[in-house]
Chains A and B, each alone.
Chain A
Amino acid sequence: MTTQTGTSPQDTGHHLTLTVDGRAHEVEVDVRSTLLDTLRERLGVTTVKKGCDHGQCGSCTVLLDGRRHLTCLSLAVQHDGAELTTADGLAATEGGGEGDLHPVQQAFLDRDAYQCGYCTPGQVCSAVGALDELKQGHPSHVTDDLEAEVDLDDDHLDDELRERMSGNLCRCGAYVNILAAIKDAAGVATDGPTTTEEAAR
């Protein structure tokens, strides 16, 4: 692992260690810095996107200590020592060889689950987190029986994934293919590849 030290003029005394995509960084931040601005402006991690900057759009989602998290609503000083995974780091964490995409990333490519792509890193991280929560058996707002296992038959799974992904907006409206991609990644067969024409209907 390499260690980077921030040396820009904004240095004002709060010394943090952040591990981002497996790489340790040492950085001095202004106390007011969000995790999002620290990642983008100080550490050069531009995978993480700033959309609304108020917790409404989900573009800044990363996995923080394994859970999906909004970096825009987080003060960096509160997260000294944290381990973050951005969409960029997902490929390395699963499978092995360099160039192997995470199954969720591959499914987004296969399903054309984006248009402009700006929300995509946040969507991918959120989907990875959501599928992990499903695997752990956590219920959602649309789960009928809180005490039973989450119903993953085809119709229910659509509703479950839509509900669980509601914190991520896509202003291009690629939701149909985002849903298909996440279902693919969840290992659930859907009705064949979605074409652009089908998605446009």
Chain B
Amino acid sequence: MRTFTYVRPDDVASAVEAVAADAEARFVAGGSNLVDHLKLGVARPGTLVDVTRLGLDAIEPHEGGLRVGANVRNSDLAAHPVVRQRYPAVARALLAGASGQIRHQATTAGNLLQRTRCVYFQDVTTPCHKREPGSGCSAIEGYGRYNAILGASGSCVAVHPSDLAVALTAVDAVVVVQGPGGERRVPMTELHRLPGDRPQDDTVLEHGDLVTAVELPDSPVAGLSTYYKARDRASYAFALVSVAAAVDLDGDTVRDLRVVWGGVAHRPWRATTLEDRLRGQRLTEETIAAAADAELADAVTGADNAYKPAMVRGATVHALTGLARRAGAATTEGIDA
């Protein structure tokens, strides 16, 4: 491990300044992802700026919703009564992620900013454009089981690993960012980017930008929401595919909805084509599957990840019919969701 300078500022402005002034500086919070990357040589910062003692630890009522401090632990957010009641997709996504130990360690902002688990990104002996721009992509023609099927580029086929990011996108959450030039607010739909020719940039954040909070708005869809995750084992595994679904029903028909997919792209994939098709419709296996197929029209698969379209379609049917049933709406008979 390369050695580094460790600093622990007491306020947000000092933390932002410390990173902004030093191209080799990085923020560290819980460290569950970054400390592993230090060991693996994936990350080699010259300075670590500890942001765990900046007072960003509160979950507070905010404009009819909640404001969640960046340093709130995943376990505390999942256990919060208002999150469980009004944003169940967020609680479900947190509880589907990592292990009991890591949920105590990992923070809200750190979860959103964790790096891909693409096996080549984490293996410094292999080329990877995301880790070392210009070096090549080992995943495109290599082990491709986890590769993206939507929005990938010739330089990167990695997927974003966060469950929480998928659920926060479905409840219209907004990230509060403090940068060298001041504070700004970034909707979750705009935080993460597609790889294009800059796969090294996971998000739109600039060097020195610090996420200080995540705001959960008073959303008409969030109350009837869920998160469904398909993975290789029953617990403690990253998603093969996942679905965050949130619905506002008018009787049996959809007034509004959000459907966001995880495990399929470089960012949480808001399924806007699917949503457009389902507004005003009943939620049946047929309508949902047809809408999912429309969303998947541009999906690109290889031999190793050809299972993903069918899996994400099935997961979406499962999630949405389950919500409809919970709301007492008529749905297709015989689907065990």
Given contacts A31-B6, A78-B50, A146-B92, contact A129 B105 (CB under 8 A): no
The answer to the question of B184 belonging to the interface, with a C-beta cut-off of 8 Å to chain A, is: no
- Give bound CA distance, A165 to B35, whole Å: 23
Chain A nearest CB, measured from B272 CB (Å): 28
- Known contacts being A68-B104, A78-B28, A78-B50, is A141 close to B95, with CB within 8 Å? yes
Check A146/B100 contact, CB under 8 A, given A74-B105, A136-B79, A141-B235: no
Choose among B3, B39, B102, B235 the residue that contacts A31 (Cβ–Cβ < 8 A): B3
A contact residues around B79 at 8 Å (CB): 136-139
**Least distance between B323 CB and chain A CB atoms (Å):** 14
Contact with B104, one of A14, A67, A143, A165 (Cβ below 8 angstroms) = A67
**B14 interfacial contact with A, CB 8 Å:** no
Contact B100 A78 (CB under 8 A): no
Any chain A CB within 8 A of the CB of B245? no
Judge whether B84 and A69 touch: CB under 8 Å. Answer: no
Residue from the list A31, A73, A133, A146 in contact with B105, Cβ < 8 A: A73
Question: Per-position contact with A for B26-61: 1 when CB-CB < 8 Å, else 0?
Answer: 001001100110110000000010101000000000
Residues of B within 8 A of A73 (CB): 31-32, 35-36, 102, 105
A165–B99 Cα distance when bound, in Å, is 8
Bound state CA distance, A141 and B75, in angstroms?
12
- Give the contacts of A153-173 with B (CB-CB under 8 A): 162-168
Contact B100 A133 (CB under 8 A): yes
Which listed residue (B5, B28, B85) contacts A147, Cβ 8 A?
A: B85
Q: Is B143 part of the binding interface, using a Cβ–Cβ cutoff of 8 Å?
A: no
Closest chain B CB from A127 CB (angstroms): 10
Interface size class of B (residues with CB under 8 A): 35 or more
Q: Which residues of A contact B36 (CB under 8 A)?
A: 54-55, 73
State in angstroms the CA–CA spacing of A107 and B58 once bound together: 37
Cβ of A137: which chain B residues have Cβ within 8 Å of it? 79
Q: Shortest beta-carbon distance, A46 to chain B, in Å?
A: 20
Subset of 23 A-B contacts with CB under 8 Å: A32-B1, A34-B35, A53-B39, A54-B36, A73-B105, A75-B31, A78-B31, A126-B100, A126-B101, A129-B104, A136-B79, A138-B75, A138-B79, A139-B78, A141-B96, A146-B91, A147-B81, A147-B84, A147-B85, A166-B100, A166-B234, A167-B100, A167-B236
